Amino acid sequence: LDITRRRLAAGDARAPEALENGIDNLSGAIQEVRRISRDLRPGVLDDLGLGPALKALCEDFSIRTGIETRFETVVFRNRLDQDAKIALYRIAQEALTNAERHSGASVVSMDIRGHTRGATLRIADDGSGLEAARVSNPRGIGLRNMQERMDQLGGTLRILSSRSGTVIEAQVPLSHLLPPEDTAAPRSRARPSKKASA
């Protein structure tokens, strides 16, 4: 915008071009600020829980990109702790972003379920796949972030990719699952003794 102002003052015919560039850059900056502010704390996890939050993420992604998105989950009694929920949600976001930007996929599927070893998030697409070098030695910030999140939890991240698509599996260990909530009614308190204390 400053360049535009100077070009206008000088009567430079390139002022409109500079203005268009400024508008585009400003629009991009606004979108990035919105994304960062939204991602700082995914309040949807607190409001809905991980399963519904991932389902909403898939639905939003499908509407925005036109890519068919399928979501499945198996309800399990054990609950993930907050660190694990945030990590898996972030990995899902990153995987969808990669599918949109790089894969050329027409279908993306996401699955989250608990099991005897912990919990696993699986995201698969039918895109063009990743280069072998990127899978074995991830240099992109997205794949690195996924790996770091799993490392911090003591979990594992597997990336399987071929020309027919990519599968990302993030497994959180059992140590990040909370015990099942006690659904039994609380016991009634014992009636106080009729004897008054001195």
Instruction: Report d(CA 41, CA 28) in Å as an integer.
Output: 21
CB atoms within 10 A of CB 17: 13
Question: Global pTM?
Answer: 0.67
pLDDT beneath 70, residues of the chain: 35-41, 75-78, 131-140, 179-198
What are the domain boundaries of the chain? 2-36, 43-178
pLDDT in tens, 145-197: 899 999 999 999 999 888 888 999 999 998 887 766 654 444 444 444 444 33
Instruction: Report d(CA 144, CA 21) in Å as an integer.
Output: 31
Q: What is the CATH number of domain 43-178?
A: 3.30.565.10
State residue 120 phi and psi, 5-degree precision: -130, 130
Q: What percent of the chain has pLDDT over 70?
A: 79
